[in-house]
Amino acid sequence: MDTDTALEALAALGHETRLTAFRELVQAGAGGLAVGELRDRLGAPGATLTAHLNTLRSAALVTDEREGRVIRVRANYAQMNALIGYLTENCCAGDESCGPASACKPTKGGKKT
């Protein structure tokens, strides 16, 4: 993931309603949620929710698919994963100084601690 993409994803998640929406979608799993269901859970007006979903979609954090009258929204795990990867690289910057996160590095070099 490049920096611009990470930036967009971070900004998208850095808003209470959007972070909450994303978490709902993650918890909903592969089935995702209908926009209306999400709206009920968040208690946000339709127009407001649409605007936030546009932001999340633009950051590729969610995908949506029309199913008749309903639009089903799903968390894009791959993108979140890529974001975590970006942050992990930018957290540890090649050394092991990140503590717990070093257990997170996928085989970089030899480590023993």
Question: Residues of 48-86 as b/e, b for ≥16 C-beta within 10 angstroms?
Answer: ebeebbebbeebbbbbeeeeeeebbbbbbeebbebbeeb
Of these, 68, 100, 109, 110, which contacts a copy of itself (CB under 8 A)?
100
Q: Contacts with a copy of itself: how many residues (CB under 8 A)?
A: 40
Applying CB under 7 A, which of residues 10, 51, 78, 104 lies at the interface with DNA?
Answer: 51
Query: Dihedral, CA atoms, 74, 86, 7, 13, nearest 10 degrees?
Result: 40
Considering only the stretches 32-40, 43-51, 63-71, 103-111, report the one whose residues sit in contact with a copy of itself under the rule CB under 8 A. Answer: 103-111
Say whether residue 41 binds a copy of itself (CB under 8 A).
no
Comparing CB distances to DNA, the nearer of 54 and 97 is 54
The CA–CA distances, whole Å, from 44 to 6, 7, 19, 57, 103 equal: 26, 25, 14, 18, 39
Q: What residue ranges bind a copy of itself (CB under 8 A)?
A: 3, 6-7, 10-16, 19-20, 22-23, 26-27, 29-30, 77-78, 80-81, 83-85, 87-88, 90-93, 95, 97-101, 103-104, 106
